[in-house]
Structure 1
Amino acid sequence: MKFGVSTFITDQGISPTSLGTALEERSFDSLFIAEHSHIPAKRETPYPGGGELPDIYYRTLDPFVALTAAGVVTERLLLGTGIALIPQRDPIITAKEVASLDLVSGGRVILGVGIGWNREEMRNHGTDPTTRGRLTDERLHAMRDLWTEEQAEFHGEFVNFDPVFCWPKPVQRPHPPIYVGGGEGAFRRVARFGDAWLALGESPEKLGPQIERLRDLADREVPVAVYGVPDDPEQVEGYGRLGVERLLFYVPTMPERETLEHLDRLTGLVARYS
């Protein structure tokens, strides 16, 4: 089992350069960071976690800028989005951003994707929340074509462009791994586009039957990563018994000193399973 970190990088917490360096020094294999382009001042969509929306959602850095900063000061750390909100992203620009980061980092990108939950936020990007699933599928398909074809074209319900050149191409071939986030509603997307399922904090007890249903649907052994894992040894052992490929411990957004102390505690836990 591999161990990484999931977090929100904001203007009020540890910098992406300091965090990236600290993770690599402590032998974590990956950093996955969240994305929100903005939070509408008048928000009606309930926060999925319940209660008030935490401040970190309002202050996230752009994920590809932050991951580039982390990539510059590291050599081995995998750079992941957890998750990139594909319904809010132009597919041509996003394909270029992902490929550019993969090139400058030497092939270390993992693209975690999802459809989002904040309906007001996605409407501000011109996205109809009721069709965001189909939109996401088309954009992922188009991005794969842009990465793998010298002249790509796409003509769909939402995405439409004639033959184009789009460079650079990713270092990783055929493209960086795509981790599809979400619950069971995302399983068909995982089966079609996913190199792995990015499960969002499910306990081992709930996750086991879900993995079986996913693999039955996909008709293959889909790798599983779990996002937002608590530092609970019993849960870590439970994920290990399920054959989970990667655990992403949740690290609260804090100043540098507090973050490093938290990482040291996680390092002690991870050492039990090395």
Structure 2
Amino acid sequence: MVQKFLKQPYPYYFKGKNLWIIAALIFGMSMSFNFFFEPFVVYRPEHKVSFFWISMIHSLNAFLSVLLIIGLNNLSVNEDKWTVGNEIVLISGVLLTIGISQFLVRDQIYANPDNWSMRYFLEEIRNTYMVGILFAVILVPMNYLRLMKAHLKTAQTLNNQQQSDFFPQSVKLLPIVTQQKSDDFDLNLDEFLFAKSEGNYLEIYFENGEKTNKVLKRMTLKELESQLKSFPHFFKTHRSFLVNLQKVAQVKGNAQGYQLEIKSYSDSLPVSRGMINDFERKYKVS
């Protein structure tokens, strides 16, 4: 049960402006929690600076640790494969870094001959995890359930819509130009399911009765998308997928967003987090 929960998709919010907002919120929460509640033993005679500045330094450590660890994670993260487990591991890494940084500044703020002892090293890490896990245990599951509930509800609404309301098609075969003239082809719009980007090639899937056929063409997803721009029911749900919304059999909701079940195809296709609002508008209009 726990393992299944940890593998559930989870939205990744830590990029761009969001990272700075989250780091700033953590700084504010840490400053308020440390200064006003004094959660751990405060022995003022050994303070080199006022308790306000000690709280400020600890909070700044948390702020910088969040920017450092999550910033490094952003260099290689795959948002579409992010899970609850990944979220917890990332938070654990941030907390460990904060705890180590709190230990490294002890000599600057406390007049204690044992500042560099293993006791205080473990104590700083323990204290950081005690506070951090308290927030994480509460906030991560709550946010997961909130997102899951919202996307499941919207997915049900989308599934209840009449498929006959999609944009009508007057064209059945559309000439498609590829990067290699001998590879040009006519796209059957009635049978087209979706296209998947694979490097410099494009996998194009067609409906064939209860089966699916696939052809490989030398072109990019962007090139195909531009040639299908007159047909609003062809929609780029993800940087690697262009989907015929007429062929969506069911929309499934999870905490990360939506997964699309396509007619005659066994696997689900993703809707990336950045495309969720556009997808909802497009699907409702369709």
Say which structure is richer in helix: 2
The bucket for the TM-score relative to the shorter chain is under 0.3
Structure having the higher Rg:
2
Identify which of structures 1 and 2 has the higher relative contact order when contacts are C-alpha pairs closer than 8 Å and 6+ apart.
1
The two structures have a TM-score, normalised by structure 1, of 0.19
